[in-house]
């Protein structure tokens, strides 16, 4: 039987039962749409994370407290207090260390910051002067934290552009103004240029103060959260990692590398760990969406079985007129593939719209993934074949006599 006829026969049958057709397609639409939306969202946040981390520079090493476990971070940042300002100073000064260009230790806390009547909750980061060089920060106006600020624990602050617009309004230059952190007055001495990004990883929503001021006067802490290290160049990354590792083991009186109470991660390691987390999350959500696809498929099978029973006489008649089993199978399979194919197409459109909306809401980049579209179309066609096959097979096996007698 030729394909064109099969196709037009199937369309006629589907159009006859518009409501039923629409409802059975709906299951597939919802399933495909959620798969598309979740995959797009997952890939978007992955890209956001790697973009952010990438923008910090490829020669950056981060020392974190707590041992390294299978390439991922074991403890919540800040819950382990094994790193100190002295560690950072030792790394900077040690003659054994040759591959490191700059070192900065950081203490990070989220706190309310007040300026006049405005206030915002932001990331207070106690830093050393080398931080700007390591993180490739440029100044929009004013200056960054200096060594003199660090030595004398001065109360000066450098704001990120997001914090400036939160506290002073967009486009204003707050250098010389005062802000209050934990009821302590700080003088704004500089504003950094925007590093871009948004959402969870906004590098512009930040206040930098001298590390010593943060430790002694604001938060009363002796430890630091991270030590950032810039290697002299990318080729020296591994050497820098080793040198810093051995020095820290010695400083912490740990004879064996296995006992390390810190971990040193390159940007690549961090991206890897973060990607692992988001991929697991994306896979989990996609799995849930896939279950809804399965349910949609069962709905299609159900409808096709009803259709076969309704059209028993028609099937008998077609067989009497010379239709072979494969003609009958083809007719019903085409019908169910049209159903799921249409569902897949609508699902792709709906899923794209949903993902565009979500991406905008959450603030991660929208990524076009040809693969996920291909996957969704393939999956919906396969669902049509898999779940349409049993009803079609059942139809093709009807005896023409029985079928013609059916009332």
Partner 1 sequence: MLLQTDNITKTYQLDGIKVHALRGVSLGIEKGEFVAVMGPSGSGKSTLMHILGALDTPTSGSYFLEGKDVSQASDEALSEVRNQKIGFVFQAYNLLPRATALKNVITPLIYAGVGKKERVRRAKEVLISVGLGDRLENRPNQLSGGEIQRVAIARALVTNPSVILADEPTGNLDTKSGDELMKILQGLNESGHTIIVVTHEAYIAEYAKRIIHLRDGEVVDGL
- The residues of the shown chain that bind partner 1, judged by CB under 8 A, are 1-2, 4-5, 12-13, 16, 313-314, 317-325, 327, 399-401, 404
CA distance to 162, 204, 256, 280, per residue, from 45 (Å): 20, 18, 38, 12
CA distance to 112, 124, 125, 296, per residue, from 205 (Å): 12, 9, 11, 44
| Closer to partner 1 by Cβ: residue 70 or 321 | 321
| Closer to partner 1 by Cβ: residue 268 or 310 | 310
| Closer to partner 1 by Cβ: residue 1 or 386 | 1
CA distance to 52, 155, 163, 174, 384, per residue, from 211 (Å): 23, 11, 19, 21, 62
Q: Cβ of residue 342: shortest distance to partner 1, in angstroms?
A: 19
| Closer to partner 1 by Cβ: residue 258 or 407 | 407
| Closer to partner 1 by Cβ: residue 138 or 402 | 402
First vs last C-alpha separation in the chain: 27
Three-state secondary-structure class, residue 281: helix
Residue identified by tokens 């490829």 is 58
Q: Cβ of residue 22: shortest distance to partner 1, in angstroms?
A: 19
| Closer to partner 1 by Cβ: residue 245 or 400 | 400
| Closer to partner 1 by Cβ: residue 357 or 401 | 401
CA distance to 315, 319, 331, 382, 398, per residue, from 324 (Å): 10, 6, 11, 24, 11
Q: Cβ of residue 3: shortest distance to partner 1, in angstroms?
A: 11
Q: Cβ of residue 346: shortest distance to partner 1, in angstroms?
A: 25
Q: Cβ of residue 21: shortest distance to partner 1, in angstroms?
A: 14
Residue identified by tokens 């779940």 is 387
CA distance to 77, 78, 80, 263, per residue, from 72 (Å): 12, 16, 15, 10
Q: Cβ of residue 323: shortest distance to partner 1, in angstroms?
A: 5
| Closer to partner 1 by Cβ: residue 193 or 314 | 314
Q: Do residues 164 and 227 lie in contact, with contact meaning Cβ atoms separated by under 8 Å?
A: no
| Closer to partner 1 by Cβ: residue 5 or 238 | 5
DSSP code string of 287-349:
HHHHHHHHHHHHHHHHHHHHHHHHTHHHHHHHHHTT--HHHHHHHHHHHHHHHHHHHHHHHHH
Q: Cβ of residue 351: shortest distance to partner 1, in angstroms?
A: 34
| Closer to partner 1 by Cβ: residue 43 or 396 | 396
Q: Which residues contact 22 (CB under 8 A, 6 or more apart)?
A: none
Q: Cβ of residue 1: shortest distance to partner 1, in angstroms?
A: 5
Q: Do residues 155 and 186 lie in contact, with contact meaning Cβ atoms separated by under 8 Å?
A: yes
Q: Which residues contact 48 (CB under 8 A, 6 or more apart)?
A: 197, 199, 200, 201, 363, 364, 365
Q: Cβ of residue 326: shortest distance to partner 1, in angstroms?
A: 9
Q: Cβ of residue 13: shortest distance to partner 1, in angstroms?
A: 7
366 vs 314: CA distance, rounded Å: 49
169 vs 11: CA distance, rounded Å: 60
């Amino acid at each position: 039987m030729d394909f064109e006829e099969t196709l037009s026969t199937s369309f006629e049958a589907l159009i006859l039962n518009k409501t039923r057709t629409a409802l059975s397609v709906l299951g597939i639409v919802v399933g495909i749409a959620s798969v598309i939306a979740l995959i797009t969202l997952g890939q978007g946040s992955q890209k956001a994370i790697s973009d952010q981390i990438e923008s910090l520079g490829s020669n950056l090493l981060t020392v974190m407290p707590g041992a390294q476990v299978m390439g991922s971070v074991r403890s919540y940042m800040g819950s382990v207090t094994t790193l100190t300002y002295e560690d950072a100073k030792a790394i900077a000064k040690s003659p054994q260390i040759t591959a490191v260009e700059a070192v900065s230790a950081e203490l990070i806390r989220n706190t309310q910051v007040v300026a006049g009547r405005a206030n915002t909750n932001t990331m207070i980061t106690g830093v050393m002067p080398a931080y700007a060089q390591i993180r490739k920060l440029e100044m929009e106006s004013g200056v960054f934290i200096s060594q003199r600020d660090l030595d004398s624990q001065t109360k000066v602050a450098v704001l990120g552009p997001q914090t400036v617009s939160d506290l002073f309004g967009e486009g204003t230059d707050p250098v010389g103004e005062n802000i209050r952190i934990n009821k302590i007055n700080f003088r704004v001495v500089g504003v950094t240029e925007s590093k871009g990004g948004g959402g969870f990883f906004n590098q512009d929503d930040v206040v930098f103060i001298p590390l010593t001021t943060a430790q002694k006067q604001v938060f009363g802490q002796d430890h630091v959260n991270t030590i950032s290290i810039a290697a002299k160049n990318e080729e020296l990354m591994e050497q820098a990692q080793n040198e810093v590792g051995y020095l820290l083991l010695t400083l912490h009186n740990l004879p064996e590398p296995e006992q390390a109470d810190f971990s040193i991660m390159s940007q690549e390691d961090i991206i890897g760990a973060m990607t692992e987390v988001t991929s697991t999350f994306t896979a989990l959500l996609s799995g849930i969406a896939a279950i809804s696809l399965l349910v949609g498929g069962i709905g299609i099978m159900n409808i096709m079985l009803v259709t076969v029973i309704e059209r028993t006489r028609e099937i008998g008649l077609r067989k009497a007129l010379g239709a072979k089993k494969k003609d009958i199978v083809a007719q019903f399979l085409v019908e169910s593939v049209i159903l799921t194919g249409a569902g897949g197409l609508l699902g792709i459109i709906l899923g794209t719209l949903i993902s565009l909306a979500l991406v905008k809401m959450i603030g991660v980049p929208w990524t076009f993934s040809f693969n996920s579209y291909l996957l969704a179309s393939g999956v919906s066609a396969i669902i049509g074949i898999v779940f349409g096959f049993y009803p079609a097979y059942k139809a093709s096996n009807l005896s023409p006599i029985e079928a013609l007698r059916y009332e």
